[in-house]
Structure 1
Amino acid sequence: MFQPTPVPADVEPDVRFAFIPTPAFTLLPFAGFLDAVRHSADEADRSRQIFCNWEVLSHTTKPIKSSSGLSVLPWKTFGDAGDYDYIVVIGGLLSELDDIHPDTFAFLRQSFERGTKLVGLCTGSFAIAKAGLLSGRRCAIHAHHRPEFVELFPDVVPIENEIYIDDGEIITCPGGTAAIDLAVEILIKHCGKSRGLKGLTAMVVDEHRQAHDVGRMPYQDLEDCGNWRVEQAIRIMRQKLREPDTTKHLARTLGTTVRQLNRAFRSHAKATPQEIWRDMRLQHARWRLINSKRTITQIAHECGFADSSHFSRWFKREFGDPPRLYREQRLARVR
């Protein structure tokens, strides 16, 4: 069995991580996060666990297969676990969520009670929520997983288009390359800026993104989903954020029926055209709140809401805070 390079006896690591891959976990966020840690752990590219320490845990030492078919071999079981600053749960295919062993949830709850911070990568947030630890908290999720998340965990506040959310004891990240940004943020906190940023050059990453940065335009994937009704409707919606229209008029513009348009959106977006359109306007409003000096009233009108009160109600429902408080908190974090 592979044995990790031990930490030299005379050096105390700045930060310790435990990684828990769940069944059918996604490789990219796991590899991206871990590689950022690896580069910060040593000088040059020697990969010794000096300034950072990490282990891979599970309820058993049997291989865990990723969503791509490649497997990872755990180094220890939960019973042999050490002390960690962060426990990183790597999620994957939602169809395998029920296959997560009960010992995993018990270990997460015990670690949380001891004060260890939890990190959910990709659908790792689902596992943490299923352990009962996300109730009432904000959680960063991928837009694709929002319908399932809302249905399973209605008491958690899902947030899209933030690359990670630090809610104190629990940090969540929708996965992909955003896992690298989150890892770097944690490494800067514990190892200093120079060492925390060390891995970006080696991984050919242009820059470190902050939590509020948005990687892609909301629903960009629907513009190439293969259904012409959805693709053309999304393009029209994006052009008319200031002046949203009825589904009936949108269907007439496309030369289709309301029933056919709703069915297409339900199939490809798991939502109605009006729900998608409203969410696009809210996402755009959120961006303007952080990146412009426009007033709340101006942003409300520019994003197609009847008035600031109507806008504020929907914004709080979507992001957990009213627009003014949301702006103040995000700008304070940036400063």
Structure 2
Amino acid sequence: MNEHPWSAPVSAEVEPDVRFAFILTPSFTLLPFAGFVDAVRHSADEADRSRQIFCTWEVLSHDLAPVTSSSGMSVVPWRTFQEAGIYDYVVVVGGLLSELDQIHPETLAYLQLVYERGTKLVGLCTGSFAIAKAGLLQGRRCAIHAHHRPEFVELFPDVVPIENEIYIEDGEIITCPGGTAAIDLAIEILIEHCGKSRGLKGLTAMVVDEHRQAHDVGRMPYHDLEECGNWRIEQAVRIMRQKLQNPDTTERLAQTLGTTVRQLNRAFKTHAKATPQEIWRDMRLQHSRWRLINSKRTITQIAHECGFSDSSHFSRWFKRAFNESPRSYREQRIARVR
């Protein structure tokens, strides 16, 4: 194994609480990798000494050639798959989908091997694509970024893509759409294995305000549509976001934008694969779900504040979207936190 100054050897007297291996796919994204590993680093030692004591981590690949990220920066693997040790989690960091076919066959074979041995797999960003390509996600729920949904559905129709959770654990596989959500996932895992105090240790050092739970909705759902390049879509989504409590008809929305209903529907079908009303309703449902957990408002109040005529109407749509009633959703999540 190559020795690195930032990977001080683990004390022989201390068995680590949790062991990670990272696999970086071609053109991987730096942010989820750096955020995840830095959270682990802070939990691994006292103060800010960065020794691998309570947590360990390594970077693996089929060979020791540098792996270049999407930003052009490279990371040198520490071990090959043949030299790999025993890990609790193997974390696959994905990147540009144009490089998906460049994932080495040995990587897919190694994922299959460790999964059969009972090791948990984590997919960050498009790491879920690599895990699915290894044939390990059939029939499972998988957290993906909304931007990648069309490609994911086309490539892996037997996997259930979920866009409104920041990480999902389904069996022995955990997926996360990437970005700063990787920090939240890392901390969730660290709390489980190292305890709450040590698991949360890196938040202050990384200047992160709070640890989000898996069900916490991203702060800006449909943000991608606001930058899709179609002015009708971009302006419509901004209006929708401002009027969650008082949604308009598609006719009124089109009139506000100075376009026709037909043109607006066509634009949404092309860019969002849904109608304006479907997108607007989903925005309101996602916002209502956040309010159920993060406010003490009654279900009736939340229903009206999110643009539903009454609580019964709201409950029907909520159950259709999330497979449980608003009351059950709130009670189960609050009980879990307690």
Instruction: Compute the TM-score of the two structures, normalised by the length of structure 2.
Output: 0.86
Give the equivalent residue in structure 2 for 1:255.
Answer: 258
Distance 2:252 2:190 in 1: 51
Give the structure 1 partner of residue 179 of structure 2: 176
* Structure 2 CA distance for partners of 1:152 and 1:13, relative to 1, 3 Å: same
Judge conservation of contact 1:244–1:277 (CA < 8 Å) in 2.
yes
Aligned residue among 215, 219, 226 for 1:212: 215
Q: Once the two structures are superposed, what CA deviation does each residue of 1:80-118 show, in whole Å capped at 9, x if it has no partner?
A: 211101111111112222222222222222212211111
Q: 2:101 aligns with which of 98, 103, 125?
A: 98
Deviates more, 1:37-46 or 1:148-157: 148-157
1:280 to 272, 280, 283: 283
| Aligned-partner SS, 2:87 | coil
Q: Percent of pairs identical after alignment?
A: 84
Decide which of 42, 46, 51 is 2:45's aligned counterpart: 42
Contact persistence 1:147–1:270 (CA under 8 A): no
CA 313–109 in structure 1, closer or farther in 2 if over 3 Å, else same: farther
Determine if contact 2:217/2:286 at 8 Å carries over to the other structure: no
Q: Which residue of 2 is the match for residue 19 of structure 1?
A: 22
What is the rounded CA distance, in whole Å, between the counterparts of 1:74 and 1:119 in structure 2? 18
Q: Partner letter of residue 285 of structure 1?
A: S
RMSD: 2.9
Letter of the 2:199 counterpart: G
Secondary structure of residue in 2 paired with 1:333: helix
Number of equivalences: 335
Matched residues in 1 for 2:73 and 2:328: separation?
A: 44
Q: Which moved more, 1:233-242 or 1:63-72?
A: 233-242
Change (3 A) 1:124 1:251: same
CA distance in 1, matches of 2:96, 2:262: 31
The CA distance in 2 between the partners of 1:152 and 1:313, in whole Å, is: 32
Give the 3 Å change call, closer, same or farther, for CA 324–151 of structure 1 in structure 2.
farther
Q: Which runs of 5+ in 1 are unaligned?
A: none
1:131 to 134, 137, 140: 134
- Secondary structure at 1:8 match in 2: coil
The secondary structure found in structure 1 opposite 2:23 is strand
- The match for 2:194 is 191
Q: Taking structure 1 as reference, are residues 242 and 75 closer, same or farther at Cα in structure 2, changes over 3 Å only?
A: same
2:125 alignment partner AA? C
Which of 59, 63, 70 is residue 62 of structure 2 equivalent to?
Answer: 59
The verdict on how the C-alpha distance between 1:212 and 1:79 changes in structure 2, with shifts beyond 3 A counting, is same
Aligned to 2:120: 117
CA drift at 1:224: 5.3
Once the two structures are TM-superposed, the CA of residue 66 in structure 1 deviates from its matched residue by: 0.8
AA aligned to 1:333 is R
What amino acid is the match of 1:209?
R
Report the more deviating stretch, 262-271 or 183-192.
262-271
The 10-residue stretch of structure 1 (69-78 or 280-289) with the greater mean CA deviation from structure 2 = 280-289
Distance across 2 between alignment mates of 1:311 and 1:150: 29
- Shifted more, 1-10 versus 111-120: the winner is 1-10
Classify the secondary structure of the residue corresponding to 1:17: strand
What are the superposed Cα offsets for residues 147-173 of structure 1, whole Å, 9 maximum, x if unpaired? 322333333333333222233422221
Q: 1:89 to 1:96 in 2, by over 3 A?
A: same
Letter in 1 for 2:87: Y
Q: Which SS does the other structure have where 2:12 is aligned? A: coil
| Mapped pair 1:162 → 2:203 | no
| SS of equivalent to 2:19 | strand
Distance 1:42 1:298 in 2: 46
Q: Distance in 1 between matches of 2:285 and 2:139?
A: 21
Mapped to 2, the partners of 1:163 and 1:30 lie a distance apart of 15
Is the deviation greater in 164-173 or in 176-185? 164-173
- For the 8 Å contact 1:157–1:320, the answer to whether it is kept is no
In structure 2, the CA distance between the partners of 1:185 and 1:232, relative to structure 1 (3 Å rule), is same
**What's the offset of the Cα at 1:307?**
7.9
For structure 2, list consecutive stretches of 5 or more residues without a partner in the other structure. Answer: none
Choose from 2, 8, 11 the match for 1:8. Answer: 11
2:320 and 2:64 map into 1 onto residues whose CA distance is 43
Question: Greater CA deviation, 230-239 or 54-63?
Answer: 230-239
Amino acid in the other structure paired with 1:210: Q
Query: Which shifted more, 270-279 or 80-89?
Result: 270-279
Report the CA distance shift for 1:220/1:40 in structure 2 as closer, same or farther (over 3 A).
same
Give the Cα–Cα distance (whole angstroms) in 2 for the partners of residues 296 and 151 of structure 1: 37
| Matched residue SS, 2:132 | helix
Q: SS at the partner of 2:178?
A: coil
Provide the secondary structure at the position in 1 that maps to 2:91.
strand
Deviates more, 1:83-92 or 1:57-66: 57-66
| 210-219 or 324-333, which deviates more | 324-333
